[in-house]
Amino acid sequence: MKSVRFGVVGSGYFGGELARTLNRLEGSSVVAVHGGSRAALLAEELHCEAMESLEDLVQRDDIDAIIVASPSHAHKEPVMLAAQHGKHVFCEKPIALTLSDCEEMVKACKSAGVVFMAGHIMHFMNGVNQVKAWIASGEIGRPLVCHAERTGWEDRQASVSWKKNNATSGGHLFHHIHELDFLQAIMGPAVSVCMAGGNLAHQGEGFGDEEDVLLLTLLFADGTLGTMQYGSGFRWGEHFVKINGTEGAILLDLKQSKVELYQNGRITSRHLNDSAEEDMERAQSYQNVDGAVAYGTAASRMPSWLAALIEKEMSAFRNAVNGIPVGENVQMLFDGTAATTSIATAEAAMASLREKKWISVS
């Protein structure tokens, strides 16, 4: 396998871990990093260069692929520049904050003939792939209705993060786009959406301007339905997905770290992550965040369950760059489907919130 040389845009909690993972993976190395207040320290740690200019980074002949892990509103420029200079691209979710930007980014990579991967890491979870397998084998019959919740409560912040403002993060629906992507991976793309909500509990100094309560209803092409609750305005925080079918039901519980199949009065359980230890670690982490935004700092330790997922994700990208065929279970991350479908529905949902009516999904 040819060794792949990476440049990393974004040196924060997630960008830093992506870089560390690539630097220790067989067949990959990080050549340079760019962006963020921690770039110099990260470069020193990884024994690579810290580049002040994004343009200089993407023009380097000793870089094959670019990892984009900057704040959400700053994804488009590095993706477009990387494609322009023939670099393969991995972009963290959400790919963009508008459908037009997302489509332009995916198209640019296709036109340049480079690999593009959307960073929807949920597809690498053991439990998520178990859910897909149960549905594919007909364990719950035909899926009819699904429901997802990702809720919690956040207090006033001494310094307001970019994650709390719609202009930079897109708000909860974009920043936490995982469940919206997952429901559509199971049920198919939504054809219309209706959303209500608002910033009900977190106005004023120490808070951003994002909506802290979002209630969505999704209509799928075959008449099946989905509902979702997102936000930081919920004192009783939850994080789960339920899928109900004609012959049974599935619970993907991300807060309690378990996956359950209900069938004929019996429950079959599986690990959400790769081991009981990782499941316990994840469940314990919710004592601090309750399903709301987790804020990684320079001193934060990446939990082992998340580090394991990042390693799977980066291995898949490295392999794709090397021309190794992509597995069917993650094909949507490489063909633009996951990127555009999730952004199209999120954008339509925000339009529904503003216009107070059902909106068709482009």
Torsion of CA 232, 235, 236, 241, to 10 degrees: -10
d(CA 262, CA 166): 38
How far CA 250 is from CA of 143, 205, 261, 268, 328, in Å, comes to: 10, 41, 5, 10, 22
**CA neighbor of 51 nearest in space, from 230, 139, 280, 59:** 59
Residue that the structure tokens 């959406």 belong to = 193
pLDDT at 306: 95
Contact status, residue 35 vs residue 70, Cβ threshold 8 Å = yes
pLDDT at 1: 77
Please, which pLDDT band fits residue 289 given cuts at 50, 70 and 90? low
Residue that the structure tokens 């700092």 belong to = 297
CATH number of 123-299+342-360: 3.30.360.10
Q: What is the end-to-end Cα distance of the chain in Å, rounded?
A: 40
User: Phi/psi at 149 (nearest 5 deg)?
Assistant: -130, 135
Kindly state the percentage of the chain with pLDDT values over 90.
91
- Please check the confidence at residue 296 and state whether its pLDDT lies above 70: no
CATH number of 4-114: 3.40.50.720
Report pLDDT digits (tens) over 252-277.
999 999 999 999 999 999 999 999 99
Whether the domain at 4-114 and the domain at 123-299+342-360 fall into the same CATH topology: no
**CA neighbor of 14 nearest in space, from 118, 133, 119:** 119
Please, which pLDDT band fits residue 293 given cuts at 50, 70 and 90? low
Token digits of residue 37: 């207040």
Domain boundaries, the chain: 4-114, 123-299+342-360
